[in-house]
Amino acid sequence: MPSNIPCPPAATVRTNVIRVPGTRVAENSLQNSVALSTEIEDENVAAFNVGGEKRLCWNSLMETVLKNFSAHEINKKKSDLRIYTGFCSSKQLETLQLIGVLPLSQTHCSLISKSDAARLCSVLLRPPDKNCNSDQTSRSRGIDVSHDCFGGCSGTFITERYTHVNAKCIQCSQCGCIFSPQQFVSHNHKGYENRLCHWGFDSSEWRTYLQLA
């Protein structure tokens, strides 16, 4: 081979091809194992950011938001909603143990997406078949609103009751129950929407979901 035509060492080429993808995988794995705290139903629950959405520790959710429900009740609604949970990785399990969320003896733990956690909590805490004896005259003094989350719902925003962000000020047009804006955007009477993949829901963004009817 002529000396004026350089040939790069084969080892250098192989190193570049292998190192770059490996670095990205390591970075993603590290990011997925960083514990976060996310708020749901006024409770802080341990979570991880996986694929752009928070995945909540199932044990932590059951011991806080759903502590007043039996395992049978929770699993029944979870099945009705067709919610599936996956096991966390060994690194995520270790992280949850180190921050005291799980005991060191725990050998596995499931994660649930925040969207599915919101669906499950809403159905258990605010059953769609519940009927409230509310003041019907309040509706005429409010603004008609609706949302399209998890099947959608319509109601009346009672402006005089909106004194703070968590105030119960929206009355459902079907059951008459009054909810805070964050509660209302996950409330519905049109079925479970259990054949759809829900992603990215966050009740704290209720201003994005609420619309004039």
Tens digit of each residue's pLDDT (9 = 90 or more) over 113-172: 999 999 999 999 998 888 886 555 445 578 999 999 998 999 999 999 999 989 999 999
Mean pLDDT on 96-123: 95
Q: What is the pLDDT of residue 29?
A: 55
Averaged confidence pLDDT in the chain = 83
Q: pTM (2 decimals)?
A: 0.80
Position 18 scores a pLDDT of 32
Identify the pLDDT of residue 208.
95
Tell me the per-residue pLDDT of 62-88, one tens digit each, with 9 for 90 and over. 999 999 999 999 999 999 999 999 999
CATH 3.10.390.10 positions along the chain are 142-212
Which pLDDT does position 197 carry in this prediction? Answer: 81
Yes or no: domain 142-212 corresponds to CATH 3.10.20.30: no
Give residue 82's pLDDT.
92
At 209 the pLDDT is 96
Position 193 confidence tier, pLDDT thresholds 50, 70, 90: confident
Distance CA 174, CA 155 (A): 8
Average pLDDT estimate for 6-21: 36
What does the alpha-carbon distance between residue 180 and residue 103 come to, in Å, rounded to a whole number?
35
User: pLDDT band at residue 32, thresholds of 50, 70 and 90?
Assistant: confident
Higher pLDDT, 18 or 103: 103
Q: Who wins on pLDDT, 14 or 144?
A: 144
pLDDT greater than 60 at residue 5: no
Percent of the chain with pLDDT over 90: 67
Architecture of the domain spanning 35-125: Roll (3.10)
Q: Would you state the pLDDT for residue 28?
A: 52
Distance from first CA to last CA of the chain, Å, rounded? Answer: 78
- Residue 6: per-residue pLDDT: 46
The better pLDDT of the pair 195, 120 is held by 120
Cα–Cα dist 76/94, whole Å? 29
* Residue 70 CB contacts under 8 Å (≥ 6 apart), including other chains: none
89: burial class by Cβ within 10 Å (0-12, 13-18, 19+)? middle
89: left (phi over 0), alpha (psi -120 to 50) or beta: beta
What are the start and end residues of each CATH 3.10.260.20 domain in the chain? 35-125
Per-residue pLDDT at 90 exceeds 50: yes
